[in-house]
Amino acid sequence: MPLLTLDDLSLSFGLQPLLDHASLTIDPGERVCLLGRNGEGKSTLLKIVSGEVIPDGGRVRLDEGAVLAVLPQNLPAQDRRTAYEVVASAFPETGSLLAQFHTLSQSADERSLDELMKVQERLEALDGWRLDQKVNAILAQYRIDPDQTLNTLSGGWQRRVLLARALVGEPHILMLDEPTNHLDVPAIAWLEEALSQFRGALLFVSHDRAFIRRMATRVVELDRGHLISFAATYDRYLDLKEKALEEEERQNALFDKRLKQEEVWIRQGIKARRTRNMGRVRALKAMREERQQRRERTGTANFAVEDAARSGKLVVEAKAAAFGYDADTPIVSNLNLTVMRGDKIGLIGENGTGKTTLVRLLLGELEPTAGIIRLGTNREVAYFDQLRAELDLSLNALDNLAEGREFIDINGQSKHVLGYLQEFLFTPERARSPVSVFSGGERARLLLAKLFSKPANILVLDEPTNDLDVETLELLESQLVEFAGTVVVISHDREFLDNVVTDTLFLNGTGEVKHFVGGYSDWRRQKGRFPAEEKIGKPSGKASTGTPKARGQAPKPVAPKAEKQAKLSYKMKHELEQLPGKIEVLEGEAEAIRAEVSAPEFYSRPSGDVTAALDRLAEVEARLEQTIERWMALEEQDS
């Protein structure tokens, strides 16, 4: 029995329908990734499921008794509630009473005691203490300090609190819209682990390919108003999608050829004044109507970077450079670095470690507080801002880009602004729409169009992958690889970094900047680790102090860190030798189960068999992750 059924949904906002009689079912235990190009209507579809948007036709059916929860895409700007209050708000009346009870319990005046008794009576009537236990239990499970206010937490910890709020009600299906946006890599890794332990169904929108590979058991694509399901892993989906598009092109070509032949026949019949076959005429009219209703797939984005004159061979050189807004907290210290023309540099680190500050230092926007930074010659810098601040939301795409021009020069060729925008998949109608109505992906594409319309030999991109669809991401990757100038990228997209950068700078938050050859995976292979992985449970937000504790519980004592790790014992060395074989066996077992759940007939089995297989996959993946972590720990100790 499906948990969720979308039956014949229709919705139109403009010339083309966002949803054109779209249907979908989701079964218990499935992890469904919803893919589609920017502006296709993925977020709108999720809002229809949650009831925020009413479709023009069709209906949404949840299985009787099923509970739906949503992890919101946007983080709250200034939410001064405590983590306890946020999680308890999942139970509207009871949560409000629980929050009120805990506030009143801290006061000792007589009036507060009277109100406290009333609240307590109401809580007992609503079985509120059981819910209080559930709230405290999930806060403890996720290592969240219940008394910390949301606005003092980092984005990753805010996402953690909101996930706890979504899951405390024990939902049967959880929806997530771009859950990895603005999260650093440790926060993404924690989110993946938390979601892999969730036994309900997932429906999520994401363009983070590594996240999709880890999480999705099925891919559903929203394409030209229709929902197309691929019972496959992400990599298998890519193969199936390519073959489907080739088959669609072949069928369309055959249809158009036959239509052309029929058009020739009808004209010849009229010219010769012969009696026409009216059945064939009616068939031709139907073919014309079918051709008119066909929605062509939007072309792939096609853009190039406007090259400026070459910069000097040396772009920037730092010698013992340091910077900090105050003397006690250095953001960068003792930096020794040489960036040459053509280098592709990736910056990684947890949020708040100073990646953007380091970029400004290397661009000459900030003066070092110590040491020397020498800038190269003939530098033309183009900057991609993760906050999209360079876009005027009150103007349309045309005015944002053109700035009064009708034509722009791209690599020596004069292009009309509308034609240039079409290379970034903006139709003339969409180009004249205000940017305020654009999706996040469309705004990112417009900013890329604006960025690449200006001559540059140094490209600086701050979180360029947020909201971009996969096809545009892949094109951007190829353009950056082929770009003759210098590229500096701040990103938490692991696959994007692997595909683009040749060197990685890692900021650990203490001011130290370490240089590694290669991308994210190469940094990992060179034993790169985030501080959060070494200090499990400590929030990375500025206001985080100490280990979070559940309400009413004392914090667990933290063992003092050894000054120096002891060498491996004989038993541990033997364990280290055995671990690669265990990892290989677990990888093989996980791959076999993935192949099983990727089979087209898998979800036609009884729901109990489906759930058991998915549980087994999650268990094997968890054991594999633990084994790899153990191997890394022993390897590090043995080095």
pLDDT digits (tens, 9 = 90+) for 232-289: 888 888 888 888 777 777 887 787 787 777 667 666 655 444 455 667 667 767 766 6
Percent of the chain past pLDDT 90, that is, above it, reads 18
Residue in 185, 49, 139 with CA at minimum distance from that of residue 508 = 185
Q: Give the E-state strand segments of 256-323 in sequence order.
A: 314-323
Distance in angstroms (rounded) separating the CA atoms of residues 40 and 19: 9
* Predicted local distance difference test score (pLDDT) of residue 175: 93
Which of 91-100, 145-154, 361-370, 492-501 is predicted with the least confidence, judged by mean pLDDT? 91-100
Which segments of 206-356 are extended strands (E)? 218-223, 226-230, 314-323, 332-340, 344-348
Tens digits of residue pLDDT in 285-327:
776 666 666 555 555 555 556 556 677 789 999 999 999 887 7
Query: Could you tell me the two tokens for 198?
Result: 């969730």
pLDDT score for 466: 77
DSSP E strand boundaries for 29-145: 31-35, 57-62, 68-71
Classify burial at 282, counting beta carbons within 10 Å of its beta carbon; exposed 0-12, middle 13-18, buried 19 or more: exposed
Task: Work out the pLDDT band at 544, boundaries 50, 70, 90.
Answer: very low
Whole-number Å distance between alpha carbons of 626 and 622: 6
372 vs 152: which has the higher pLDDT: 372
CA–CA gap between residue 355 and residue 189 (Å, rounded): 20
The pair of three-digit structure tokens given for residue 138, joined into one six-digit string: 């999930």
- In the chain, the largest separation of any two C-alpha atoms, in whole Å, equals 104
Helix ranges (DSSP H) in 169-227: 185-196, 209-215
Burial call 367-387: b when 16+ CB within 10 Å, e when fewer: ebbebebeebeebbbbbbbbe
**DSSP 8-class letter at 309:** S
Cα pseudo-dihedral 524, 448, 478, 513, rounded to 10: -30
Query: What is the amino acid identity at position 6?
Result: L
Strands (E), 38-115: 57-62, 68-71
Contacts of 424 (CB under 8 A, 6+ apart): 301, 303, 445, 446, 448, 449
Spatial distance between the Cα atoms of 393 and 384, rounded to a whole number of angstroms: 16
Count of beta carbons in the 10 Å neighbourhood of residue 279 = 8
Distance CA 248, CA 460 (A): 39
Average pLDDT over the chain reads 79
Tell me the C-alpha distance between 225 and 237, whole Å. Answer: 19
Instruction: Name 636's Cβ contacts closer than 8 Å, sequence gap at least 6.
Output: 527, 565
Instruction: Give residue 349's region: left, alpha or beta (phi > 0; psi -120 to 50).
Output: left
Question: Per DSSP, what are the bridge partners of residue 461?
Answer: 384, 489
Confidence label for 565 from pLDDT (cuts 50, 70 and 90):
very low
Q: What does the pLDDT read at residue 385?
A: 72
**152 residue type, one letter:** T
pLDDT in tens, 84-104: 888 888 887 787 787 777 777
How high is the pLDDT of residue 219? 92
Q: What is the CA radius of gyration of the chain?
A: 28
Distance of CA 71 to the CA centre of its chain: 13
- What residues pair up with 82 in beta bridges, in sequence order? 149
pLDDT tens-digit readout, 407-449: 877 766 778 888 888 888 788 888 888 888 887 778 888 888 8
pLDDT of 218 reads 92
Band (540; pLDDT cuts 50, 70, 90): very low
Alpha-carbon gap, residue 347 to 464, rounded angstroms: 13
pLDDT higher than 90, residue 33: yes
Say if residues 313 and 341 touch (Cβ distance below 8 Å).
yes
**How many residues would you count in the chain?**
639
- Residue 276's pLDDT is 52
Q: How many CB atoms lie within 10 A of CB 142?
A: 19
- Rounded CA gap, 290 and 283, in Å? 10
d(CA 11, CA 222): 13
Q: Of all residues in the chain, what percent carry a pLDDT higher than 70?
A: 82
Q: 20 with 225: CB under 8 angstroms?
A: yes
Taking each helix axis from N to C end, the angle separating 570-598 and 607-638, rounded to the nearest 10 degrees, works out to 150
| pLDDT tops 70 at residue 535 | no
For residue 4, pLDDT over 80 is answered with: yes
In this prediction, residues 39-67 reach a mean pLDDT of 89
Angle between helices 440-452 and 470-482 (to 10 degrees): 20
Given a cut of 50, whether residue 628 has pLDDT beyond it is yes
Average pLDDT over residues 517-530: 88
3-state secondary structure 292-307: HHCCCCCCCCCCCCCE
- Note the pLDDT tens digit of each residue in 100-131: 777 777 665 666 677 778 878 777 777 778 88
Q: Supply the pTM of this predicted model.
A: 0.64
Take residue 64 and report the two structure tokens written for it.
Answer: 């009787």
**pLDDT recorded at residue 159:** 82
pLDDT tens sequence across 366-412: 999 999 999 988 888 888 776 566 788 888 888 888 777 778 777 66
Under DSSP, the state recorded for 150 is G
